[in-house]
Structure 1
Amino acid sequence: MSLFLGAWECGLSEATGQLAGQFVALTRSLLDSGSVGDVLERVVYATREIVPGADLVSVTLRSEDGAFHTPVETDQVASDLDQLQYRFGEGACVEAARPAGPAMAASDDLGEDPRWPRFGPAAAALGFRSLVSTALLPEATSPQLSGALNVYSRRPRGIPQQDRDVLLLLATHASLAVATTQAVTKGELREAQLREALDSRDAIGQAKGILMARRGVSPEEAFDLLRRTSQELNVKLREVAESVTASLD
């Protein structure tokens, strides 16, 4: 008995260590991701690799108008299964993706599940019997966009409890990575917009100075000349200013 327990504990420790290593690798890859789409793509393929019963994986996102869509999936069939839930308004992914929905929605046998009388039989007809959807955390600021990480299995009870616990961790990783990526993207966008605004101001200021010196006009008259030229040529004011400064070269 003690030998059996020792072997079991050794196997459990080895499996736990392997899983921990996979999560470390996933975390590193998510931190290296450059966009929200890249983050989600890495999450779905990591989920398919980490969760033994995962035959298909997809992500559901809910837009500002409340509509659901599938931006990333491991196979087109996963998107088709998601679309069935969106159309019928029933199923694990639409429940978990709602901001007030459960942290997790699941079915061990879609063909026999009375909760989803239209989606369940349709999914079973396509050869998929189990589904687990784990909520992606909504954004902290309004509008609170939300979503779900969806895992489909061809087997009844194909996603046992221990794998659902792993899915909760994966969904948390995905949520944090998406939030971080969005924050970085917004920050970079604001920085780029600020740089562009400063560059535009500098270019316009230089052009005004040139016109004032060449034509003996006031700052207001120089700016008005730039503005009218921009409107007549249908060219951005900054481009007109840069053309003026380039004429000195």
Structure 2
Amino acid sequence: MDQVKFGGELLSRLLEHLCSQIDGCEGVGLSVWPEGTSLRAFGVAADLDTEQMSSGSGPLVEASRDERQVSGKFAGTDVVAVPGSWGDGGPIVLTVYLSHEPRAEDLKAIEEVEPLVATAAAVVEFCAGEVLRADQMVRMVQHRRYIEQAKGLVVGARSCEPGEAFELLVRTSQHANVKLRDVAAALVLTVGGTLEDGAGEAAAPPSAAQEVARRLWDALRS
């Protein structure tokens, strides 16, 4: 259908734009794992995304399995893997391959473009009727809203840039082995005392995430 064709072109342009914004970018991919589907891939991502999905290991797989941003190496190449929208086949994971360890400016560029990529991918799949249902799209938007709210809380507490706030949330998630979206929701709950999903009270994040969020907020205020 026309919407899907347009959406596919938009995905390609967004990924190409992201790669152009990062010095040393060797490839960008968009995949669904454990379903094992490559939606788009440029440069080394065409081979390395497939290798990770076939072997069941690597940053792409870890990001999908743990539903959190992962930085690491695969086949000697530095990789940043970011899970975006969640469907029946698994998260849609954005992979960025670099010639160097990811720097703050690289993560910032990824942070700025990834929401657009995730939303475009969700719309493509929704129009195609293959992966996402309407309620899943609503949850995807709500997860991202919590992350943006949590970033705002960190920015206010530390007087830092949004990119630095996001990096702190990612590090906290990785060190505690708790999903980024759960840490973000827990931080919003810790500070604001409530969560809303647009239709009422949302389910509370896991207790482990709430404990991590309490410790993070205490540290931010000290």
TM normalised by structure 2 equals 0.49
TM normalised by structure 1 equals 0.45
Higher alpha-carbon Rg: 1
Higher strand share: 2
